[in-house]
Chain A
Amino acid sequence: AQKVTQAQTEISVVEKEDVTLDCVYETRDTTYYLFWYKQPPSGELVFLIRRNSFDEQNEISGRYSWNFQKSTSSFNFTITASQVVDSAVYFCALSEGYSGAGSYQLTFGKGTKLSVIP
């Protein structure tokens, strides 16, 4: 069965610090997809990134970067020079290619609450 673990429940950083959010996943499939979503205090989940299991290239988007390592089953997310607007709950999620009649349902971690202090 698929599982996502976000061991950090809450993190507080001072503005402009860098912060890394950890995500470890478990799956028996060779084809799967990993995601990060942001849930600000307003509550709506915002899609940030999707990676497939065959693409281990790290990705950078502005202040955001993601490090995917199949060898350790991790998909970590780093925010550089954090800002107050980054304060939110961040969820890592996994979908498998061949489970659930091809539904690609998302299995979420419990989330990491990030507080950026001015």
Chain B
Amino acid sequence: GAGVSQTPSNKVTEKGKYVELRCDPISGHTALYWYRQSLGQGPEFLIYFQGTGAADDSGLPNDRFFAVRPEGSVSTLKIQRTERGDSAVYLCASSGTPGREQYFGPGTRLTVT
């Protein structure tokens, strides 16, 4: 079956602009995660959805970051007033059950100029 997909694969934006990153999880997976990976580092947790609700957003760095999952499937990560420090690869993962293995998408490489 299809894995986790993310679009776009690359996004270049200017400082101060707004961006949206999309994640389409594995069909039937209720748990969805966003992570951010900087060069040479492991992924860092941003936010977790169980179904439609954001059950844990403790990893979001500040209020410029927001994510939604309105129908319990596709999720969108939204970043307002982007800063150069937001440049990273944003990874989405899904899991059939929290605690089970998470399957990752290919990521969106965000570059803020």
Contacts and interface: CB of A to CB of B under 8 A. Distances in A.
Verify that A and B bind, or say they do not: yes
Contacts of B104: 37, 44-47
B45 interface: yes
Tell which of B33, B40, B41, B42 has the most Cβ of chain A within 10 Å: B42
Given A43-B107, A50-B101, A105 B56 contact: yes
Interface residues of A toward B: which range? Answer: 20 to 34
Nearest to A48: B101
5 contacts: A42-B106, A50-B100, A101-B55, A102-B55, A107-B45
Given A44-B107, A91-B42, A108-B42, A102 B102 contact: no
B58 interface: yes
Nearest to A109: B42
A73 B57 CA distance: 28
Given A35-B101, A93-B42, 18 more contacts: A43-B89, A43-B107, A44-B105, A44-B106, A45-B43, A45-B91, A46-B104, A97-B99, A100-B56, A100-B58, A102-B98, A103-B45, A103-B55, A103-B56, A103-B98, A105-B33, A106-B43, A110-B42
Contact of A105 (B45, B91, B103, B107): B45
B48 interface: yes
Interface of A: 4, 33, 35, 37, 42-47, 50, 91, 93, 95, 97, 100-111
Contacts of B33: 103, 105-106
Interface of B: 31, 33, 35, 40-45, 48, 50, 55-56, 58-59, 89, 91, 93, 95, 98-107
Closest 6 CB pairs of A and B: A108-B42, A103-B48, A103-B56, A45-B104, A105-B45, A104-B99
Contacts of B105: 44
B48 A105 contact: yes
